[in-house]
Amino acid sequence: MSLPVGQSVPARGGDGAIARPEPAPPELVEVLRSGLPGLAEEIYTAVRATVPDFAVADGGPPSPERVVREAMRSYVARFADPAEPLDGLLELLHSFGRKEVTGNRSLESLHAAIHIAFDTSWHRITEVCVRNKVSGADLARVAEFQMAFMDQIIDPIVEAYLDQGRNAPVDLVHSRRLLMRSLSTRPVASRETVDHLAGRLGWNVPETATPVAVRRGTRWRPAAARSDVLAALGGTAPWLLVPGGVDEARRALLGAALDRGPVVVGLTVPLGEIPDALRWARGVLALAEDGVIVPAPLIRAEDHLLDLWLTCDPPLVEEIARRRLGGLAGLPDGKRRALTETLLVWLEQWSTAADVGRRLHLHPQTVRYRLRQIRKEVGGRLDDPETRFVLEAVLKARRRTPPGRPAS
């Protein structure tokens, strides 16, 4: 995944520490620090209100409140100075993970609590950054750092928890897999089935959702695996399902959470239409990997639906071209390319030879000569609106044919 200019991927030292090439700008650190007052209390209040296992305090040390406060303090300190030691925090996290086993809290509840902490802190950070007019590049930098830091928090807790003898419930993994399969294949499962599987996961079923297509082998950082985002990264066609739409804040999180690009954000659709939206998102991802469209880190499928339509069946495009281009199809390659390029610009602009010439950097007389040759080969069909539409679509599709993809 590409990062903002001037930033490199956070590396890890021997203690698992996040290493940055240089400290963050002091003014950005102060913006983050200004968001800390009251944040730990807000996070724990949200966790207790949302995760039943945390509704009643267990009284044993270390308390969740202490863990949250120390984590937020270390977060800002490490952002300001990459050399800030984390030994104390890591030991605290290990102690907390071991205690949660004896406190009879499930690993799923722990993950849910961590995701709520992430959501709450990110919401506060976004607010203070917007209020202080922090640039988009710096906001992306903060998001990248927060993802890596949250990974640091999750790993020791889970490691200590599992070492204490409890494993993640397999049935929840199976339920998540079944739910995503039931939403991504036709016929889509009944609402009753979806509600049942979602209930087992504690996932609130939305009215609409957005599929996100990612490359094979992409890693989804645990910190970003928010409780409301479903992930299926195994197999040959990995994807995510985001409830509702994907706004700018969500896009920033996706960009920081996924370690490989490009990532294609699909259309936001009702649940029954997810199979189509996912198929289109995967199609756009294939175009990016083939070099047909610019492979930006995050791509909106909505911006490339025409590209997808025009490139969906290259052999059919070539068959239509042979039937509609008339004598142009049989000309030598160089001459055919020159004439079809002129024809496409003329069809797009439907204007004078002078306008076409300016677009192609040709003398108007050269354009007129080419247009006479085109009319000679294609004939009077150029005067038919339907033929002009078909020719323009075919020529646009040919221009978008992925390199190396067979035309027939």
Q: Let me know whether 260 and 379 are in one domain.
A: no
C-beta separation of 327 from 378 below 8 A:
yes
C-beta separation of 19 from 151 below 8 A:
no
Q: Let me know whether 238 and 107 are in one domain.
A: no
| Non-local CB neighbours of 303 within 8 Å, separated by 6+ positions | none
Q: Let me know whether 123 and 183 are in one domain.
A: no
Phi, psi of 385 (to 5 degrees): -55, -40
C-beta separation of 219 from 1 below 8 A:
no
| Helix residue ranges, H only, 208-352 | 248-257, 274-290, 305-310, 314-324, 333-349
Q: Let me know whether 218 and 233 are in one domain.
A: yes
**Domain end call among 125, 141, 163:** 163
Cis peptide before 364 (omega within 30 of 0): no
**Domain end call among 310, 341, 364:** 310
5 part of a folded domain: no
C-beta separation of 161 from 100 below 8 A:
yes
1 part of a folded domain: no
Q: Let me know whether 158 and 188 are in one domain.
A: no
- CA dist list (Å): 56 to 9, 44, 49: 40, 12, 10
Q: Let me know whether 256 and 334 are in one domain.
A: no
**Domain end call among 310, 336, 371:** 310
- CA dist list (Å): 259 to 82, 144, 247, 298, 388: 21, 10, 20, 12, 45
C-beta separation of 4 from 137 below 8 A:
yes
The pLDDT assigned to 276 comes to: 94
Spatial distance between the Cα atoms of 69 and 260, rounded to a whole number of angstroms: 32
4 part of a folded domain: no
Q: Let me know whether 109 and 176 are in one domain.
A: no
Q: What is the pTM of this model?
A: 0.53
Phi, psi of 369 (to 5 degrees): -60, -45
Q: Let me know whether 174 and 303 are in one domain.
A: yes
Q: Let me know whether 145 and 184 are in one domain.
A: no
**Domain count of the fold of the chain:** 3
C-beta separation of 160 from 97 below 8 A:
yes
Q: Let me know whether 182 and 86 are in one domain.
A: no
- Parallel, antiparallel or unpaired: strands 298-300 and 263-265: parallel
Task: Retrieve residue 180's tokens.
Answer: 């995503």
The pLDDT assigned to 59 comes to: 64
Look at the alpha carbons of 97, 51, 61, 41 in this order and tell me if their dihedral is positive or negative: positive
The enclosing H or E element of 230 equals strand 230-232
Q: Is 319 helix (H, G, I), strand (E, B) or coil?
A: helix
Q: Let me know whether 154 and 182 are in one domain.
A: no
Spatial distance between the Cα atoms of 337 and 225, rounded to a whole number of angstroms: 49
The pLDDT assigned to 2 comes to: 31
Q: Is 265 helix (H, G, I), strand (E, B) or coil?
A: strand
- One-letter amino acid for residue 58 of the chain: D
CATH code of residue 386: 1.10.10.2840
Spatial distance between the Cα atoms of 376 and 366, rounded to a whole number of angstroms: 15
Query: Which residue carries 């080969």 as its tokens?
Result: 377
351 part of a folded domain: yes
Q: Is 293 helix (H, G, I), strand (E, B) or coil?
A: coil
3 part of a folded domain: no
369 part of a folded domain: yes
95 part of a folded domain: yes
The pLDDT assigned to 222 comes to: 55
Task: Please name which of 128, 115, 129 lies closest in space to residue 257, comparing C-alpha atoms.
Answer: 115
407 part of a folded domain: no
Task: Output the CA angle 349-352-353, nearest 5 degrees.
Answer: 105
Q: Which residues of the chain have pLDDT under 50?
A: 1-21, 166-170, 403-408
**Quick one: DSSP state of residue 380?**
G
| Segments forming the whole domain that contains residue 203 | 170-310
Spatial distance between the Cα atoms of 324 and 280, rounded to a whole number of angstroms: 28
CATH code of residue 46: 1.10.490
Q: Let me know whether 17 and 154 are in one domain.
A: yes
| Burial of 360 per CB tally in 10 Å (0-12, 13-18, 19+) | middle
Task: Retrieve residue 58's tokens.
Answer: 């267990």
